Chain A
Amino acid sequence: MARYLIRRLAGTLFVLLGVSAAVFTLMNTLPGDPATMLVSHFGASARDIEILREQLGLNDPFVVRFGRFVGGAVQGDLGKSFQQNRPVARILLENTGPTVRLALLAVGLAIVLGVLTGVAAAVRRGSWTDFLTMLASLLGISMPGFWLGLMLMLLFAVHLRWLPALGDQTWRGIVLPALTLALPASATIARLTRSSMLEVLREDYLRSARAKGLPERAVIFRHALRNALISVVTFVGLQFGLLLGGSVVVESLFSRQGLGQLVVAAVFARDIPIVQGWCLLVAAAYSLVNLAVDLSYALINPRIRYDAA
């Protein structure tokens, strides 16, 4: 187990270096000059733009800039934001909390909603419940998040006035953004749960469990669901990474603080240090969540071990 962990963590470092190189190259080949973007709110003369480029270190050769970035990054220094003129690490830290909270809540909601409806549909296969749940989940998957969010906002904030239209740090403010993220994810989870439950329900060990006289609820949730959950957990792991990166739409729609909004603004403004730092953070989060997912297989199904290989 320990060897496996070390190997995986070392691999993560290589992933991060690769991500940095790729992002650095991409951001530097993207059309649009960061210095011009910084002054483009009021305009500046050609000479002033040149001086700003010099001040930002943009006139150094590509290799020098990349070296500076990697050298800083290993010491935990991700550079300074062009726009805010503050350390990138600090800016990312400020914005991580709200995004992680939102993503955790959305994932939690998606799992509860998705697994319950998926199980219900599988157990009553072919019934109206099954048909309606699957129809709803198809709708859920096809709806663009932006549109769904706006509809939820109009319904719950403008018409019913139950919840605020804008997300903030209170629990009431987080409900609509979390639902907007959770509903499409829960739809996929419902479909996954249903199909893997249907496979598991055919297995012999469930027949023996029933024969032993176990109540149906225990058969479904303790024995069947546990085995059906592996594919769901894999999906949720992937989804969590997506939520971290993909909160962009929801955060800007509900005007919530977070990494999504931060990075969109940074891309448009060519604030290269922020975009690089964000990519590193998301890549690291992705790797770690994937590792956690792999480790959790062993918890769900004790027959899965890691040291044998």
Chain B
Amino acid sequence: METRDRVSGHRAWLVLPAFLALGITAGHAADQPLSGGDFTFGYSSSFVDTLDPHVTSQSVSHFIMTNIFDPLVYLRANGEFSPGLADSWSASADGLVWTFKLKRGVTFHDGTPFNAESVKFSFDRMVDPETKSRQAGVALRGFYDHTEVVDGNTVRIVLKKPKASFLTVISQVFFAPVSPKAVKEQGGEFGRKPVGTGPFKFAEWVQNQHVKLVRNADYNWGPPFLHKGPAYFATLTFRQIPDAGARLAALESGQVDAVDMPPTHQLERLRADPRFQVKSAPQPGMPWGWPMNVKRAPTDELKVRQAMIYAFDRAALVKNVLQGAYKPAYGPLTPVTFGYNPAVEKMYPYDPRKAETLLDEAGWKKGPDGMRAKDGKPLVIEHYVFYTTSEAEFVQAELKKVGIKSNISLQEVGTVNQVATEGIKNNLAPLPFASLDPELMSILFHSRNQGKGFNWTFHTIKEIDDLLDRGEVELDAKKRADVYGRFQVLAMENALFLPAFVRETIHVYKAPVQGVQFNRRGYDAYFHEMWWKR
């Protein structure tokens, strides 16, 4: 029956121009959000593992869970915090004790009241080894101590050591309170039938196919930057469509109302099509690019690494390979990330001549074929990639122009992970990570995360480690931004990272969908705020 609602809604939209032509306009009413209708989103990711926020680490799970759960605080797209399930919060001067005053009158979808007990239950659950958490528990580990219930509507979260990103971290739905009753009753099946406080209630999940949610009619505790009251859509369905061609076919044949990640070569056509609207949001964190392995020749030489960055025309990559869908990147952080330092933008202008000079200086001489060698050894870069080779091929062509040969090995993601983690066979491997906080840089650049984990550069620069350690605990925002600003310059001076482009989340919606708004992660949209224009 919901399907029929949606179809009639669309028909109404189709005849609207006729009414306008007849002069029977609805006046301002057309801009008033309308309640009702069904909405189906076709998403690209091939798999939702679990909708248990405390267990999963997947972006697509977060995307769906954003509608089922509310965090204690929201981080707005503009970087400001806003009340979520907590009305207000404060931290002790040493940053160790965080007190949250909770909203009253909030209930979980199973009817149990939300209170201080459920917050304590949830945080304790995240760090419980039994939960086998891949994100929430991991992020809290090492600095979370315990949670105290002060009274029914006040909790105190006590930390072992200060954590500058604490509020930012817990603004993610991975850290949202869950219904203790539902967890106790369902045990391991909670992730299949999640119960939260959000604007939509879980309804149905056919694995590898769709997740269906229905509007929570009681919802009136949304964050102040969104409208008060229940969501407009009556139902919300997330449909898994991993194949890009099939995803567009489903959109154009009307089976879904929106999709994410359209093929970039179709963007121009979609933007020009009045049936659709293209929306995008930049992602905070690390841009798409390649950590450079300083352990293995020839990227163990600073001048070779610097030459590679000079030789790589990122603006041309964006224009010619990515059809202008993204923007060039200049350092290890994207511009929307806290602490981004625009100084990196001037450090490596596209300058192939400079690249050649650096290589000459380093003793890599050009042979008759235009390729370089030193002491009879050719200058060769081993480049491991997964998923797609188009960016790698572009870099290959750029490097060839200055006399560097590069070999591309297309492997599946687990193999590339392992090769890059060992760092014996590769010089380059792509590693993009989205994250709300520059603290991510510790995972990618701190030397303690080499050999296991995600520092694929293998540098031994102590100053970088020290800066990253300070960034994690510095509570003064100004000083903290300076720490990460210095880190970015240092990382680029040492040419540890070959930046490529800043990714954006791209969604295509049918034209009558109103109220599209992304969150700070750039990945999630607030479906609570959207409605069908008729």
Which residues of chain B come closer than 8 Å to A264, judged between CB atoms? 46
- Given the complex, which residues of A lie within 8 Å of B245, measured CB to CB? 150
Cβ of B442 under 8 Å from chain A: yes
CB distance from A90 to the nearest CB of B (A): 9
B253 engages A255 (CB within 8 Å): no
Mark contacts of B430-467 with chain A using CB atoms, 8 A cut-off: 1 yes-contact digit, 0 otherwise. Answer: 00011100001011101011111111000000000000
Residues of A within 8 A of B448 (CB): 45-47
A169 to B134, CA, bound (A): 32
Contact B191 A43 (CB under 8 A): no
Residues from chain B with Cβ under 8 Å of A44 in the complex: 134, 138, 443, 453-454
Whether A60 sits at the interface, judged by CB under 8 Å, is no
Partner of A161, one of B57, B253, B450: B253
Q: In the complex, which residues of chain A have a beta carbon less than 8 angstroms from the beta carbon of B417?
A: 32-33, 36-37, 40
User: Is the CB–CB distance between B252 and A257 below 8 Å?
Assistant: no
B50, A49: Cβ atoms closer than 8 Å: no
For A37, the closest partner residue in chain B by CB is B414
Write the nearest CB–CB distance from A156 to chain B, whole angstroms.
10
Taken together as a complex, chains A and B put the C-alpha atoms of A170 and B14 apart, in Å, by 28
Do the beta carbons of A257 and B415 come within 8 Å of each other?
no
Q: How far is the CA of A153 from the CA of B454 in the complex (A)?
A: 41
Indicate which residue in A32, A87, A258, A268 contacts B418 across the interface (CB closer than 8 Å).
Answer: A32
Which of the candidate stretches A51-59, A195-203, A294-302 sits at the interface with the other chain? A51-59
Query: Is A165 a contact partner of B129 (Cβ separation < 8 A)?
Result: no
B35 at the interface (CB under 8 A from A): no
* Contact assessment for A46 and B449 in the assembled complex, using a CB-CB cutoff below 8 Å: yes
A153 to B252, CA, bound (A): 12
Which of B55, B207, B252 is A94 in contact with, Cβ under 8 Å? B207
Q: A43-B443, A85-B191 are in contact. Are A265 and B246 (CB under 8 A)?
A: no
Given contacts A32-B415, A268-B414, contact A256 B444 (CB under 8 A): no
Spot the interface stretch: B82-90, B156-164, B236-244, B345-353.
Answer: B236-244
Kindly identify, within residues 214 to 272 of chain A, every residue whose CB is under 8 Å from any CB belonging to chain B. Answer: 251-258, 261-262, 264-265, 268-270
B389 in contact (CB, < 8 A): no
Residue in chain B with minimal CB distance to A43 = B443
Are B132 and A52 in contact (CB-based, < 8 A)? Answer: yes
Complex Cα distance, B127 from A55, in Å, reads: 12
Q: How far is the CA of A30 from the CA of B243 in the complex (A)?
A: 26
**Shortest Cβ distance from residue A52 to the other chain B in the assembled complex, whole angstroms:** 7
**A256 cross-chain contacts in B, Cβ below 8 A:** 208-209
CB distance from B138 to the nearest CB of A (A): 5
Collect the chain B residues with CB atoms within 8 Å of residue A251's CB: 208
**B505 CB within 8 Å of chain A:** no
Choose among A42, A56, A84, A252 the residue that contacts B46 (Cβ–Cβ < 8 A): A252
Asked if A153 and B249 sit within 8 Å, CB to CB, the answer is yes
- Among B135, B142, B242, B450, the residue within 8 A (CB) of A46 is B450
What residue in chain A is nearest B254 (Cβ atoms)? A161
B residues in contact with A31, CB < 8 Å? 414-415, 418-419
Q: Residues of A contacting B134 with CB < 8 Å?
A: 38-39, 41, 44, 52
Residues of A within 8 A of B252 (CB): 158
Nearest opposing residue in chain B for A82, CB measure: B132
Assess the B208–A50 pair: CB atoms within 8 A.
no
Is A86's CB within 8 Å of the partner chain B?
yes
Contact for B57 among A42, A166, A254, A262, CB less than 8 A: A42
B268 at interface by CB-CB < 8 Å: no
Q: How far is the CB of A238 from chain B (nearest CB, A)?
A: 26
Assess whether B412 is interfacial by the CB under 8 Å rule.
yes
B132 x A56 contact (CB < 8 A)? yes
For the complex, give the distance between the alpha carbons of A31 and B416 in Å.
9
A168 adjacent to chain B (CB < 8 Å):
yes
Taking the closest CB of chain A, its distance from the CB of B410, in whole angstroms, is 14
Q: How far is the CA of A214 from the CA of B455 in the complex (A)?
A: 80
Q: How far is the CB of A129 from chain B (nearest CB, A)?
A: 34
Task: Tell me whether A28 is interfacial, beta carbon within 8 Å.
Answer: no
Is B18 positioned at the interface, with any CB of A under 8 Å from its CB?
no
Q: Does the CB pair B253–A157 fall under 8 Å?
A: yes
B449 proximity list for chain A (CB < 8 A)? 45-46
The answer to whether A39 touches B246, judged by C-beta atoms less than 8 angstroms apart, is no
* Contact of B208 with A85 in the complex, beta carbons under 8 Å: no
The reply on B255 being an interface residue by CB < 8 A is yes
- Which chain B residues border A80 with CB–CB below 8 Å? 188
Judge whether B243 and A253 touch: CB under 8 Å. Answer: yes
* Contact, CB under 8 Å: A154 / B57: no
Which of A42, A49, A158 is packed against the most chain B CB atoms within 10 Å? Answer: A42
Interface residues of B in 404-425 (CB under 8 A from A): 412-415, 417-419, 421
Answer whether residue B192 sits at the interface, using C-beta atoms and an 8 A cutoff: yes
By the criterion CB–CB under 8 Å, are A169 and B206 in contact? yes
Task: Give which listed residue, B206, B415, B433, contacts A42 with CB less than 8 A.
Answer: B433
Closest chain-B Cβ to A309's Cβ sits at a distance in Å of 45
Asked whether A42 and B129 contact (CB < 8 A) given A51-B141, A153-B246, the answer is no
Given A48-B138, A164-B253, A265-B46, 6 new contacts (CB under 8 A): A31-B415, A36-B421, A37-B413, A39-B134, A153-B246, A158-B252
Interchain Cβ contacts under 8 Å between A and B, 11 examples: A41-B135, A42-B135, A42-B433, A49-B453, A51-B141, A55-B129, A80-B188, A150-B243, A157-B250, A256-B209, A269-B47
Top-4 shortest CB links A-B: A32-B414, A46-B453, A265-B47, A83-B49
Task: Give the interface of A toward B (CB within 8 A).
Answer: 30-33, 36-52, 55-56, 80, 83-87, 91, 94-95, 150, 153-154, 157-158, 161, 164-166, 168-169, 251-258, 261-262, 264-265, 268-270
